[in-house]
Amino acid sequence: MVFQKVSKCYLPLLAVLALDAIVLITVVALRNAHPPGHDELNALETGLRMLGSRGNPETFIHGSFFYDLMALLHGVTYLIAGLTSHGWSVSDYLGTYLEYRETFLLAGRVVVLGFAFLLIGVVYRLAHVLYGERAGLLAIIILSFGPLLPLTGTALKEDLPASAFAVSSVLVLCDSAIRVRPSVRWGLAGVLCGAGVATKYTIVLLTILPVVLAFGLGILTNWRLVIAYATCTMATFLLFEPYLVLDFTRAQESFWTITGVHFASGTLRPVASLYIQSYFPLGLGILLALVTVVAAARIVLYEGDVRLKAIVVSCIVTAAVLMSSTSGMLRYVITLGPLISVFVAGEVMRWNARWFSNGFAVVAVAILLTWPANLIAVKLIALLARPDTRVVAQEWIEAHVPTGSRVLLEGTISGEPSYAPAIVPSAQWFQARQDHARMAGTSGRLLEAAAVRAATSSRPRYDILNTAVEGVSALEKVDYVVLSDYHALPMEFCRDVRRGDPHIERELSSRATAIHLLEKDFVQVFSIEPVPDLRFDWFDTPDFLRLWEASFSNYEKWMVGPVITVYRRAVTA
């Protein structure tokens, strides 16, 4: 009798959750074997800067709540270390951070992993509320085993946490089992939505959902609910984004800057075709992408449940805005993926209700529906298991390039070799960077700690110049040049997307000049290419999109690192 009361989906649900945990933990472990990308380093070190300076201009563009979490991670670690170590100082902590940066990256990724499991639970409950228990199981299978969740749920980036907050807000509005007063329900939904917007600004697009829901339920006559939602959303947002009020002028400038980058007119063109041709089919799988369109159309035209209409309308509005932008990434689809998995699962259940007599039937249908996305995810994980080109190139350089050589690195962000081999700079390099930091009005304490650590390293040290700082003229001063395709490939992408942009044209011209000088004065001594990108017979990814994603190795992980080539100055007779 006891076992008869157990849900028919209980065992399949446990199996799916266990497999989820295995996949996500495996991907986190594989990621930690690779050098971090710029975005992940930026998250950790912005948290450090925020802890020291109570704010950072970058938070105006990205939303600060995720960086607040990284600052909290650093703060708690510092306090615990201070309690267990006598005479602990900030310099000691920074040195420890650099020594164990991979451990800090792992800790940050585990934080994101926690949000991933939260999102899985919320999606299950939301689908259960709207369609039933088996739809909940199908929804988390759809969400979990394509590339979106492993891609965004294991990397130190704000996209998935923001999505988790947004979908939690939707659940609070839709779940009648949450027995609280309506004003409390809408206020709590506003708090969660505000946290999502403070994590990533594009979550504000999903605020169309409560508006549609309010109209559909006819509750706009009760202004207290609308006011409670709006007030709590704004209050929570400003709680994590006080910089917008404290420095409104700079915040406004940042807003117009980011708007100009993503929604400019003139030479820039929308990326709608990329979402339709690539991002949605890659993120959802081609079959699921097609089913999504059919399911959304049925709900908009014929569905009587206002909650479902609100979800689909908000997804359509969000997708339209994303596709009208002039820049895009596959990871942006995670804003839509959880809600899509909910209504697609429910609609598939309705179409084939007689097939779903138990949870294992749900799993079987889910496999048939999502196998293209599953295939992409498997290949993605297989790529992560391969060695990164930056690590291989670093080992070759340290074995073959004499210590003290002058090396020009390409593939950098603000002078940091995030997409180049992580060779150890000389003392002169650190001194120049510290002088630059002081002139910019920053403390440079992390640089000081890095210099101390490098001074005690047994690895070879090099006098490094960066293309991001010195430019092409540095070719005349160096013995070796290390090229990464980080710059080349995005520039090719930008040439296609931003035709006529003078800045992009100058970048391309400068690189063409550099390549000409290299061919004249240098000889190639080493080159390594990553494994081939993911291509499919039934689906052709545009070359510039493929290259753009490839260059963002370790995040949009279609290749294991960039193409890296090493040149040595030719010896003249």
Q: What is the pLDDT of residues 534-560, one digit of tens each?
A: 443 333 333 333 333 333 333 344 567
Residue 162 pLDDT: 93
pLDDT above 70 for 499: no
Residue 445 pLDDT: 67
Residue 340 pLDDT: 92
Average pLDDT over residues 185-202: 90
> What percentage of the chain carries pLDDT values higher than 90?
13
pLDDT above 50 for 400: yes
pLDDT above 70 for 377: yes
Strands 406-409 and 461-466, bridge-based pairing: parallel
pLDDT above 60 for 78: yes
Residue 128 pLDDT: 92
pLDDT above 90 for 119: yes
pLDDT above 80 for 148: yes
Domain ranges of the chain: 8-253+270-384, 389-423+459-569
Task: Read off the pLDDT of residues 257-276 as tens digits, 9 standing for 90 and up.
Answer: 666 656 654 444 567 777 77
Q: 219 or 134: whose pLDDT is higher?
A: 134
Kindly report the average pLDDT of the chain as a whole number.
75
pLDDT above 60 for 242: yes
pLDDT above 80 for 190: yes
Residue 399 pLDDT: 92
Pick from 44, 158, 165, 178: nearest CA to 107 = 44
Residue 431 pLDDT: 67
d(CA 481, CA 556): 26
- Residue for token pair 């270390």: 81
Task: Read off the pLDDT of residues 342-351 as tens digits, 9 standing for 90 and up.
Answer: 999 888 888 7
Most confident of 101-105, 374-378, 397-401: 397-401
d(CA 387, CA 380): 13
pLDDT class for 216, splitting at 50, 70, 90?
A: low
Average pLDDT over residues 517-537: 70
DSSP letters for 272-321: HHHIIIIIHHHHH-HHHHHHHHHHHHHHHHH---HHHHHHHHHHHHHHHH
Residue 118 pLDDT: 95
Average pLDDT over residues 210-229: 73
Residue 213 pLDDT: 75
pLDDT class for 116, splitting at 50, 70, 90?
A: very high
Average pLDDT over residues 3-12: 57
pLDDT above 80 for 497: no
Pick from 155, 167, 151: nearest CA to 119 = 167
Least reliable range by pLDDT among 13-22, 83-92, 223-232, 541-550: 541-550
Residue 260 pLDDT: 63
Number of residues that make up the chain: 573
pLDDT above 60 for 338: yes
Contact 421, 466 (CB under 8 A): no
d(CA 199, CA 159): 8
pLDDT class for 109, splitting at 50, 70, 90?
A: very high
pLDDT above 80 for 475: no
pLDDT class for 496, splitting at 50, 70, 90?
A: very low
pLDDT class for 126, splitting at 50, 70, 90?
A: very high
Residue 297 pLDDT: 92
pLDDT above 90 for 111: yes
d(CA 334, CA 400): 43
d(CA 295, CA 25): 32
Strands 564-569 and 522-528, bridge-based pairing: antiparallel
Sign of the dihedral through C-alpha 519, 524, 530, 535: positive
Average pLDDT over residues 471-478: 72
> What percentage of the chain carries pLDDT values higher than 70?
70
pLDDT class for 146, splitting at 50, 70, 90?
A: confident
Residue 188 pLDDT: 92
